[in-house]
Amino acid sequence: MAFVSLAVKDAAVMAALSDLAKRTNDLSIPMQDIGVEFSELIRQTFSDGKSPWGVEWDKLSAVTQAKNKGRRAGGEPLRDTGRLMASIAPKAADGGQAVTIGATNVKYANTHQFGVKQGTYGKTKRNGPIPWGNVPSRPFMPILGNAVILPDAWSKAAQEIIADYIVEAAL
């Protein structure tokens, strides 16, 4: 089950896909290539410590750094185990005619993408809040609120992939 996934409805990308669909009945390979490209761009947000739009993620709080002393090299957000970043992968959908991008089954993906307030998930057996402090949003996918907003570079990357396939289909 995907806790966070991405459905792109960028107008320029959709127009390019529509043009390609008129030239071929198999979008599976270009969709796969777009999925791989976007998955790499999502992974890059982890490496950069920035949202897809280039906004730096909040640093780890002093309390979090102290709590995890010795466990986290450099105290970089979302880089402790790399599990969330490694879980980002494209997945074919609609018989290969679409792709789900950024699907992950890591339970805490939503927590980090959108942020949560202390105690949102209830209490521990010792009556402590879960999470024990506020977790700021650290968006790694291009989602604002309920909308997918592709950064221009992401949209252009998808359009370039599609354009390459349009040229191939014309040959």
Q: What is the pLDDT of residues 39-86, one digit of tens each?
A: 999 999 999 999 999 999 998 887 777 777 766 555 678 887 888 999
What phi and psi, each to the nearest 5 degrees, are found at residue 170? -80, -20
Per DSSP bridges, beta strands 98-104 and 4-6 are antiparallel
Q: How many CB atoms lie within 10 A of CB 124?
A: 10
Annotate 54-85 with b (16+ C-beta within 10 A) or e (fewer). Answer: eeebeebeeebeeeeeeebeebebbbeeeebb
Tell me the C-alpha distance between 34 and 112, whole Å.
Answer: 24
Indicate the residue type of 13: V
**Listed residue (87, 91, 66) closest to 78, CA to CA:** 87
Rounded Cα distance between 1 and 161, Å, is 28
Give me the pLDDT at residue 2, please. Answer: 42
Residue ranges in the chain modelled with pLDDT below 50: 1-3
Half-sphere exposure (Cβ direction) of 108: Cα atoms closer than 13 Å? 13
Q: What is the pTM of this model?
A: 0.81
Q: Give residue 1's pLDDT.
A: 35
Q: In Å, how far from its chain's centre is CA 137?
A: 13
Give the amino acid at 32.
Q
Q: How far apart, in whole angstroms, are the C-alpha atoms of residue 100 and residue 6?
A: 6
Q: Measure Cα distances from 49 to 53, 82, 90, 159 in Å.
A: 11, 13, 21, 26
Q: What is the pLDDT of residue 76?
A: 78
